[in-house]
Chains A and B, each alone.
Chain A
Amino acid sequence: MSELLSAYLPEFIILIFIILNLIFSLFSNTATYKLPKWFSILGIIAALFSTIYLQIDPEAFAFNNMFLTNIYTVFFKILILISGFFVVLLSRNMIREKRDRAAEYFCVFLSGLLFAMCAVSSINFVSLFVSLEALGLTCYLLLALNRNNNAKQLTFGYLMQSSVVSSLFLMGLSLVYGMCAQLDYSQVSLCFSQNQSQILLTFALILMLCTMFFKLGLVPFSSWLPDTFEGARYPIGAFMSSVPVLACFGVLSRILMTFLNYTFTVKIVLAFIAVATIIFGSLSAIRQENLKRLMAYSMSVQSGIMLLGLCVFSVYSLSSVLFYLFCYVFVNMGAWAAITLLYNSAKLEKLEDLKGIIYHRPYYVIAFTIILIALAGLAPTCGFVAKLYVFSAVARSGFMYLPFLLVALISSVIMIYAYWRIIRAMFRRIETEIIIDTHVISSKYILYACAVASVVICIFADKIIRLCQLVAYYM
């Protein structure tokens, strides 16, 4: 038992807190709506601390070799838990409005974290499928929390498309099973190297990758992004743009590194997808007026940049993507905290609503500006170091990638413009009086903390890069 726990202690703790929340929901009423939140915070913090007791050297296996724990999975789990922690703090105002559903919300939310962590840890295609599917379902449940008709319509698209890509995954799964009669990663990898007809296996794996591409909002599957995000509540948007992204990158890099390492065509296709995502996402982003839609495309572009780093297939590039993810967690969460804050305090949703906000809340605006600069990948923030690291990994890997790199760099300027539009709107001269409610404390501190973090990570980037290199090495 203790050996099992040393492999999946954080998941276990989260599971306990889900059950606690479920039990609590039987007795809860509107007066005690705050308790599930504290339960969840407690659970997440406990899970974060429990990662210390995980066995990472040597790697620990559980559930008949379906579940792996090593430093790589722990890295992703910590990031997932940190973003979960931020999202819980961000959802304060939403919970106040829906007091009767607080316990339910946190149950679903914690299971989202649980399945994300399981997906990163799984080394078997079945457990991977179950985790990803459950993660998708929790995403849908969270999206469906917003119960007006418009939002239902907008989020229903997510369910439909997500089920389509899941069926693609199943198709790939059946093909792999048909070829190898195995579902374990290591066995399939062995089969892959021995088998002569690699094309079918590659095809099967690409079908599976589609699920990940869908969740990351990469180009052929990015049509769900803006509508779904617009229909979602703000904390759900923050959740959707961080936790599934982390889980999918955890899975994606493992699959790519394990199976498709030597397939030249796949590399080129991935690079094409990445560059197309960056171009399409940034071109769409500059036309958005709604902040949530803009952030949706921002997520798509960031995933595109990370995929470009990933498609190089080296330990160095993997470490650069890990560093990018590390920065992305804080920066993206800071941006969501800022727009949540703007919405909660003054119902500001559109770019044009932001006019003159600098005169009312200069320090919000400065923190948000730092966050946006980091998202755009500009100088004194961690975004720059992350971009430098990822793109240098791409530049390192040969002449073949240079055209992709140049196109990606140039089109990232379009995204800078998209972020710049927010900054410009905030610095506009004042036209209307904005009434600002000052009671939103938790999201304010998340915003400030993320803004400070984005500068501090830039300064102490060296330590984190070393950590990422270690993690990438041990994957």
Chain B
Amino acid sequence: MNFLSLIWLIFLPVIAAIIIMLPAFPNHQVKIRRFAKWFAGLHFVYSLLFLLFFDSSMFGMSFEKELTFFGMTWLKTLGISAKFAVDGMTLLLSVLTIFIVLITLFMSKMHIRTKHKLYYSMVFLLESAVLGIFCAKDMFLFFVFWELLLIPVYFLVSQWGNSEARGAAIKFTLSSFVANMFLFFGMLILYYYNFAVSNVLTANIESLNMDEKIYPMWFQIMVFVNFLIGFLIRVPFVPFHNWYPDIQSKSAAPVNIMLAGTMFATGVYGIIRFNMQVFPEIFKLFAPILMIWGIVNLIYAGLLSVAQAGIKKMVAYSNVASVGFIMIGLASLNQTGFNGAVFMMIACSIVYSALFVVISSVQFRTKTTYITALGGLGQVMPKCMYLALIICFAAIGIPFLMMFTPKLMVLAGAMLSNLDQQLLVKITAAIGLCAMMVSAGYILYFFYKVFCSVLLEQWKGLKDLSPQETSVLTALSLVIIYFGINPMSIMQIYQSVSSIILDVLQV
């Protein structure tokens, strides 16, 4: 399996971006688009090979590979190396990212009318940054990709969004940089206090820990909170969620798909990798708080979602709300909850990207995203309506569709968890069950308003989905249905990860 190298998997998109940016590459939109699609398709096939050869029964990391420059380790004197490795969870997330990028490229044709070279290279750069986040084995390498992500996102949002997109993009980028600085601060402290404990200067995530009795509790909590703030802003989680609906409602439709599919998986992954694995004691301490926080997130963002006037903001808020489930699953500290949370990550990425694909088709035809201006589109776009119905049902959590199993597992995990504050936890889990109804409310409201109610006069001449859109939506629906019926096929891949992490947590 020598041809399966994570370095290639991560840096192939960068190479594609450079090829597109080269002056020799023809500045002709059809050629650029075709190249990008072919490249992304082959990249997807390559990533599937990883999945094929992945041994899910093996514990720990596999496909480990180090990026060396003429045989030199990157920053060896500082204990920092460019090592990459995947486990079941990150491999799944990587493949998912590549799949989402492929879909984005298929949906880009109608919406991207200017600066094709910049657009496609930025999409590839974003893909590479996300893959790097998932595969990095070193803390600072993780941070490099974590920051690198912001540059393509800034360009994607600001250059092809609507007239307000520039302000939103800069606001997002700067607030993310502030969050990153908290994260960086936490990392620097962790780096050196780990050095002081173990006497080995390293930034390898697996060998980091602060769980010695040398440092006072408040100090560990401070570092933990720094990490948590850094990740929660990216996720986005409720007090820090504002940027997400903001940039989603202002950026172009394919960018929406991309952001919904990739951004919050990186944040949740960070919480799992750092807050859970490096600070198990503190995470246990924080688990009830995080669980309640998740519930607050679920209800608050859900209610906000109902109140929105634009469909993009509506779906974005419901996306924020669904992250609450992930947090509840993680905080329940048992196998069921954790597996459910990771499954939820993947399901959320796919389902919400699919919802944004639907929105992109609607927006392309009607040139509006205001909910009052839409209505009855199902009469003129039946194909779109039926496919959207599957996706909306999935988002609600109807059985045999992708979101059902993880929601069930998360809530079951919360009910079964033996955290300290038993009563509180049970009550929160019960509230979470009720909150599912809120989620049903806003998704159905969205579906009803767009596709069902009275057809307005100006939309009578709309065309139904093009073959390209139909195939994209059909593919997504098939994925949703397949993994809804057969959830074990995903879950068995990351089974070992959950046992490792829960072993660290000693629960």
Contacts and interface: CB of A to CB of B under 8 A. Distances in A.
Contact of B147 (A379, A405, A406): A379
Given A461-B75, A462-B75, A379 B185 contact: no
B181 A389 contact: no
Contacts of B53: none
A424 B170 contact: yes
A409 B185 contact: yes
Contact of B188 (A363, A405, A412, A417): A405
Given A388-B140, A465-B78, A413 B188 contact: no
A399 B72 CA distance: 34
A379 B145 contact: yes
A416 B140 contact: no
Given A380-B148, A402-B189, A462 B140 contact: no
Which of B144, B184, B195 has the largest count of A CB atoms less than 10 A from its CB?
B184
Contacts of A363: 23
Interface string B138-169: 00100111011001000100110000001000
A130 interface: no
Contacts of B192: 392, 395-396
A32 to B, nearest CB: 39
Contact of B74 (A409, A417, A462): A462
Given A391-B184, A392-B192, A420-B170, A465 B144 contact: no
Nearest to B176: A413
B345 to A, nearest CB: 24
Contacts of A466: 77
B189 A460 contact: no
B181 A409 contact: yes
B478 interface: no
Contacts of B144: 379-380, 384
B112 to A, nearest CB: 16
Interface in B171-197: 173-174, 177-178, 181-182, 184-185, 188-189, 191-192, 195
* Residue of B23, B76, B145, B188 with highest tally of chain A CB at under 10 A: B188
A379 B78 CA distance: 16
Given A413-B177, A420-B173, A460 B69 contact: yes
A460 B177 contact: no
A295 B189 CA distance: 31
A465 B73 CA distance: 13
Interface in A310-364: 363
Interface string B70-92: 00111111100000000000000
A465 B75 contact: yes
A413 B78 contact: no
Contact of B189 (A384, A395, A462): A395
Contact of A385 (B75, B158, B189): B75
Contacts of B173: 420
Contacts of B189: 395, 402
Contacts of A392: 78, 188, 191-192
A406 B185 contact: yes
Interface SS majority for chain A: helix
Given A380-B148, A391-B188, A392-B188, A465 B77 contact: yes
Contacts of B185: 395, 402, 405-406, 409
A410 interface: yes
B148 to A, nearest CB: 4
A463 B178 CA distance: 31
Contacts of A405: 185, 188
Interface string B364-407: 00000000000000000000000000000000000000000000
A427 interface: yes
A271 B185 CA distance: 17
Contacts of B77: 462, 465-466, 469
Contacts of B73: 462
Interface residues of A, number: 35
Interface residues of B, number: 35
A405 B144 CA distance: 19
A266 interface: no
A181 interface: no
Contact of B174 (A378, A391, A416): A416
Contacts of B195: 396
Interface string A388-427: 1101101110010010011001101100110010001001
B116 to A, nearest CB: 14
A399 B222 CA distance: 12
B191 to A, nearest CB: 6
B181 A413 contact: yes
Interface in A171-189: none
Contact of A461 (B74, B188, B191): B74
A460 B78 contact: no
A459 interface: yes
Interface in A443-475: 459-463, 465-466, 469
Nearest to A394: B188
B191 A395 contact: yes
Contact of B78 (A378, A389, A394, A406): A389
A385 B78 CA distance: 10
B188 A459 contact: no
Contacts of A378: 147-148, 151
B24 to A, nearest CB: 13
B188 A416 contact: no
A421 to B, nearest CB: 9
Interface string A359-384: 00001000000000100001110001
B159 A427 contact: yes
Interface string B192-226: 10010000000000000000000000010000000
Contacts of A459: 69, 74
Nearest to B154: A420
A463 B173 CA distance: 33
Contacts of B188: 388, 391-392, 394-395, 405
A469 B201 CA distance: 15
A373 B173 CA distance: 14
Contacts of A416: 174, 177
A410 B145 contact: no
Interface in B253-279: none
A462 to B, nearest CB: 5
B147 A460 contact: no
Interface in A207-265: none
Contacts of A373: 151
Contacts of B184: 391, 409
Contacts of B23: 363
B424 to A, nearest CB: 33
B95 to A, nearest CB: 24
Given A379-B145, A459-B74, 15 more contacts: A378-B147, A378-B151, A379-B147, A379-B151, A384-B144, A391-B184, A395-B192, A405-B185, A413-B177, A416-B174, A417-B174, A424-B158, A462-B74, A462-B76, A465-B78
Interface of B: 23, 69, 72-78, 140, 143-145, 147-148, 151, 155, 158-159, 166, 170, 173-174, 177-178, 181-182, 184-185, 188-189, 191-192, 195, 219
28 contacts: A363-B23, A373-B151, A379-B143, A379-B145, A379-B148, A380-B144, A391-B184, A391-B188, A392-B78, A392-B188, A395-B188, A395-B189, A396-B195, A399-B219, A406-B185, A409-B182, A416-B177, A420-B170, A420-B174, A424-B158, A460-B69, A460-B72, A462-B73, A462-B74, A463-B72, A465-B75, A465-B77, A469-B77
Q: Top 9 closest A-B pairs, CB basis?
A: A395-B188, A409-B181, A379-B148, A413-B177, A379-B147, A396-B192, A379-B144, A462-B76, A465-B77
